[in-house]
Structure 1
Amino acid sequence: MTMSDTERTLRRGLTLRAAAREFARHPSPWMIGVTLMVSLTARILLGDWQITDAIVPVAIIGLFPMYEWVIHVTILHWRPRTLGPLTLDSELAREHRKHHVDPRAIPLIFIPTRSLAVVIAVLAAIALLVFPRVALGLTFVLTVTVVGLVYEWTHYLIHTDYKPKHAMYRAIWRNHRHHHYKNEHYWFTVTTANTADRLFGTAPDPAAVPTSRTARHLHGEPA
């Protein structure tokens, strides 16, 4: 895989503006952004604002660190399994293993396009079929896409050479770097620093954790 000029810049250190230019070159931010704008426009046009339109975003944002942890552990770190002639191994898990092999490969940082398309379709189905009001379903989709865009940007930025300048981001940056370069069995949150990890017991003192031989090669010995 060859690096673009922008990717080489990312390796040498960069400004937020340069990081944003590279971020905008990849499909998943655009897919999430378009979904966000469509749901926002539809939500404004539909109206029908009720108290539940405030409760749903608060609940989603409050629960997101736990959701992020569960997805990371159960889906992204899924160990391939066989069921007769079938191998159970999702695109998300396969691409995430590649991401661990080379955490600095920019294209591998983003949610795979096909998997993201499925997620967006599922969100639309939930909005239409699960919620008692279409307007509330749109509030749900809008909130999830905002959170998803924040996730993509944060995860991407952590894997560039942009240097943390504020304590909150520095804690998030350090937490995820430990996951990739110290031990893949801990520090599963990405957009928050140790919130769900503390809850689920995966936020140990880094000094007390041995450096894993398989952080780059999940589920097996290094190649």
Structure 2
Amino acid sequence: MALILSYYKNIPFLDSFMKNKIDENELQYTGSELKGKTIGIIGFGSVGKKVAEFCRVFDMNVLVYARNPVVQSDDFVKMTDFDTLVGSSDIVSVHVSLNQQTKQLINKDVFKKMKNTALFVNTARGGIVNERDLIDALKNKDISGACLDVFESEPLPIESELRNLRNVILTPHTAGLPDGLKFHKKRYDFFVNNIKRVENGEEPESKLNQL
């Protein structure tokens, strides 16, 4: 949500404008509200669901695609197929894990189906996207812009064209670290607690294989 707001309110540009002490009468500013926009959420696990909750607050429309839907559509979240989602959304946000089924799921064909005004957001894993196709789509204006926290190669190579595109906001894989070292401590405490539970013959708090 921070990336989406930064893009539509043009915050990186405005920050640079103010710090460069440019005459404010020269400001050529464009921005947009989120109300009424349609976001397409690919993947509806815990993160995708949380994003949908935030979007409700901003009076947005929410479309969701999930390989194995665990919820039915309601008055707010509408489950749909993949092509309908990418073709109908103003914002496409990826929230799936990287595996053989999702590797380069987002490619040239997908970008061609998106609106040319669409914003693409990836805070999941870089390998889900064909980065060359993304760069071409941005340069050819097949889509309006992108907000990226993850990349095919990390750290992002210095020579990457993404660094020079004005319609892109980049962050260094930090979306999941909102509280720095404290967040790491919380994560490690979770691991240690699960190990202790197994040692004591108890079920772990969470497990990958539920069978």
What range is the shorter-chain TM-score in? under 0.3
Structure with bigger strand share is 2
Scaled by the length of structure 1, what TM-score is found?
0.26
Structure with bigger helix share is 1
- Greater relative contact order structure (CA < 8 Å, 6+ sep): 1
